[in-house]
Amino acid sequence: MVLFVLGGLFLALCLFAALHDINSLTIPNWLNLTLAGLFIPAAAVSGLPIEVLIGHVLAGLAAFVIGFALFAFRIFGGGDAKMIPAVMLWVGPSAAFPFVLAMAVVGGLCAVVIVLVRNMVPAAILPAPVRAPFEENAGVPYGVAIAAGVFLAASGSPILSQTLKFAGVIG
């Protein structure tokens, strides 16, 4: 039950991060720290072998290094570069490829939609909560792609799959 609550909170915060990113093109540090911090008690109650949990930590560290490089080369924003390693702790190595693939596909689709809308609709007529990405020279809210990647890869993660099984989402 505790893992279900922690996993559910993690997934809800991923959704919140995506919505916050759409609204402001930022993902707050407190949110990324909370996503990462929730992994600690979840790992403690998951019942997974230590080798599996070490794999999750190593996946998070690898994502941190890659995210830092992507931020340094101005490919990702700081919030995106911090959210990816935070969620990679939960996703782990077994679901890393599906996560990255889904994140890349959804991120590309978001970019295409944003470019199309920017070229066809004046940003001023869009509702304020979703206007930020459609302003001229604004970035892409990649938190949407990161959250989508988590949801699409969750069933392959040993920790998140336990949450989904408890919720009856997967068998």
Euclidean distance between CA atoms 73 and 169, whole angstroms: 39
pLDDT in tens, 77-135: 999 999 999 999 999 999 999 999 999 999 999 999 999 999 999 999 999 999 999 99
**Contact status, residue 123 vs residue 134, Cβ threshold 8 Å:** yes
CA distance 55 to 33: 20
Domain of residue 57: give its range: 2-167
Q: Total domain count for the chain?
A: 1
pLDDT tens digits for 52-82?
999 999 999 999 999 999 999 988 899 999 9
Tokens coding 44: 């403690």
